[in-house]
Chains A and B, each alone.
Chain A
């Protein structure tokens, strides 16, 4: 069903000021404005430079291992007995998640800009690991801000970052999770403006980050489009991806946005349930606000104070969402739903046992939506799910949730 005011294209935004409808923008301290204007210029120049693209392509192929396969999940399809399910296997990338796609692009940009010091925020640690990886590869100093609570539940990734030569800085302010790590990274950036590049991990933050991260992640959707055309001779009926900040989802969705027959679902984390108040479902249960440089849907109280998010998945545990998703939701192009910790855990186990793939808890949320909807769809409905991360990092959390001691 199309809204009467449907634009000619969903792929032309943001505008020059970084707005997606009323969302996006540049809500940052004046100290940072010259930096993000520089970044915007550097990114525009890089996009127009063929050597930037060839450097990217080479690293994507030989360092990251792209293209990632599009895999027909035969047994899961049979198990749910409805839609034909494909996995876009970004968990097979170097470092085990889609995060590296964006990090490759941004580290090349940092290098072009002559920056010597990289900072990043991380929740689950996947973006921190990916950032530490590219910083090691390019010989740049790297500091990763991580909430103390997240450090506690993602020890293996903390150790990985250390092995890669990055310093992990515990953040104890606020709720000690991803949003606080982002605050602290912004504080560092504002203090070290000369030599520092802030490598944001999701499609959020001040313009140009949401558009730039989307562009770097769009390789997921571009590949999936070619691959499904080759495998099935037609476009898929639906796309499903989990949403924290939303970088894997926008990466998959964006190349398909103008294919009107392809429906799309973003799956947020409902934590203990929307009604419990302990969740991370910004679109499903939040309202528009301004945080971390952009206007978008946020979890906030009556006074406009940001609420703590909850999800079993540290990577989804953020009280906001990328601004383009807020716009895609309001424009009606993409549907946003939420699944609980328990539903994600059940889908996680189905995937392990039926496909021999241990997914991360983040895409387990997307899989939970598949479990909910696939059985009622016809056998010729083709569904592509973004399997954006592998679950090795999550085995301790899952064991804990299942009451197993390891």
Chain B
């Protein structure tokens, strides 16, 4: 096992001891440009992110809504590449040896780069996990199995369409945590009802001990808090990249103050998640 193996588990263990959910912050690597994206990334742990989900931009993000589509396009326009994304993780690791980083994206850029080369370099950069939207269990031989062999967690999406029969298939070869998509749909769509999330959470718990994080459609600290009462982790993505979208100028840059605002928003979401269980108990 490599040194990178274990950050995700250590993170959830620590949070379980504190009786709170993990706050997972998503940004797209290279958005709005490689330099400022690095600054945002480096600032996420201090702002309250427990786990970072870093989007690998793709030209054709089929499962993403308008916010993340736009952030991917900003990043690609600014010259972001897959190698550039790995370099960002490497630079981040110079000052942060413990915050887990999960790369999220689509398979083609990795396939084109070469699976073996990608995995070697990802381990070297300090990547902990992968979420590849268009690789279902049926295609596990492509990347999932080699990733697990390389010590990288392969995190799978569960959705409202995942029935019991399917659940067993999806849980096989899943590691790190499970990502429950609270609505059938694209990123940034409406949030699923808390009751439905809780039911799904229990259904999953009967079959797996892995932590369950919930994402898709969580936009405010209050949303984040309510999901944090029932889930092991809360992912916010579109609402964060929308903060960048709102600030970016014609040259594709934001100001230092904007970076502060983005991280401030992340902080308010983190506070929401941290206060969730107290609120729930009150």
Residues of chain A touching chain B, judged by Cβ–Cβ distance below 8 Å, are: 17, 25-35, 173-174, 179-180, 183, 186-187, 190-193, 287, 289-293, 295, 298, 300, 303-306
Contact = CB atoms under 8 A, between A and B. Distances in A.
A190 B111 contact: no
Contacts of B94: none
Interface string B129-147: 0000111101100000000
A304 B111 contact: yes
Most central of B66, B170, B184 by chain A CB within 10 Å: B184
Given A31-B161, A190-B185, A306 B59 contact: yes
14 contacts: A28-B136, A29-B133, A31-B159, A31-B161, A31-B184, A35-B161, A187-B185, A187-B186, A289-B112, A303-B112, A304-B58, A304-B110, A305-B59, A306-B59
A290 B81 contact: no
Contact of A291 (B60, B64, B159): B60
A88 to B, nearest CB: 33
A304 B161 CA distance: 30
Given A30-B157, A33-B166, A35-B161, A292 B62 contact: yes
Contacts of B60: 174, 179-180, 183, 291-292, 306
A380 to B, nearest CB: 46
B158 interface: yes
B206 interface: no
A359 B178 CA distance: 53
A304 B189 contact: no
Interface of B: 58-66, 69, 73, 76, 81-82, 106-113, 133-136, 138-139, 156-163, 166, 170, 181, 184-186, 189
Most central of A30, A31, A179, A190 by chain B CB within 10 Å: A30
A187 B62 contact: yes
Contacts of B82: 303-304
Contact of B58 (A30, A33, A292, A305): A305
A287 B81 CA distance: 18
Most central of B59, B66, B157, B159 by chain A CB within 10 Å: B59
Contacts of B63: 29, 31, 186-187, 190
Contacts of B66: 173
Nearest to B166: A34
A33 B185 CA distance: 13
